[in-house]
Structure formats: C-alpha cells, structure tokens
Amino acid sequence: QVQLVESGGGQVQAGGSLRLACAGSTNTYSNRCITWFRQAPGKERDGVAGIYTGTVSPYYADSVKGRFTISQDNAKSTVYLQMNSLKPEDTAMYFCAATIEFQGCAPMNPTRYSRWGQGTQVTVSS
C-alpha cells in the first residue's frame, strides 16, 4: 500500500497559514525520521523540518524557525507541518520523506530518505 501521502497544500496570501499532513503506514512510520522537503522550479530540494517518530525532537531549517511547527500523531501515523506567517518565498512543492528505520534526521539530505510522498503544492501570493 502507499507509504506516504501528503495533503493540505493550497494557495494563500502572504501572512496566511496552512497545515500540511503526511500520512504513513505503521510499518514505514515508526522509529525513523520524517522530514518535510520543498522544491521550487529551478531550485534544489531542501529540507524544511523533520521529526523522529516516537520522540519529541523536532528540527527546522533556519528559514522557517519561528513560523513553522512540525508535530506528530503516532496513533494515526501522521506528521503535520503547521505553517504560519507564510511568505512568497515559501512557494514550492512540499514533500514528506522517511529514512530507513533507526536513521536520524540529520543531515537533511534528500539522498538519505528512501520513501517519498507525491507532493503537495503550496503557493503564497504577495
């Protein structure tokens, strides 16, 4: 079955908020890092925020600290990304990804993540 599915993207004006969700399955969710990446056209895929499932140890890219909050609902095998005070530069396709079991969240290099969702588009207008 599908491993990771993102939802919650959309189009908002600058200063608005969105909450993204990354739903996984139990056998691909626990004891690993789930990280949100984003990629805009012509740019590389960069890590945004991550969390090691089963713990409370979130991490964030400097560009989103104080604005984004990552959280988890382990009973639902879901990781959320609450995005507040959105800026036009946040516009990108957002992906969630998972490491293999027992691999941590750092560094946030895409090559360390073996499972990916299909992506959800976030567009922030100025």
pLDDT in tens, 40-81: 999 999 999 999 987 778 999 999 999 999 999 988 999 999
Cβ contacts of 42 within 8 Å, gap of 6 or more: none
Q: Which tokens belong to 11?
A: 């189009």
Taking CA atoms, 31 is separated from 6, 23, 25, 51, 123, in Å, by 19, 15, 12, 10, 32
Examine the pLDDT at 2 and tell me if it is beyond 60.
no
Contact between 89 and 62 (Cβ < 8 Å): no
pLDDT in tens, 3-42: 899 999 999 999 999 999 999 987 778 888 999 999 999 9
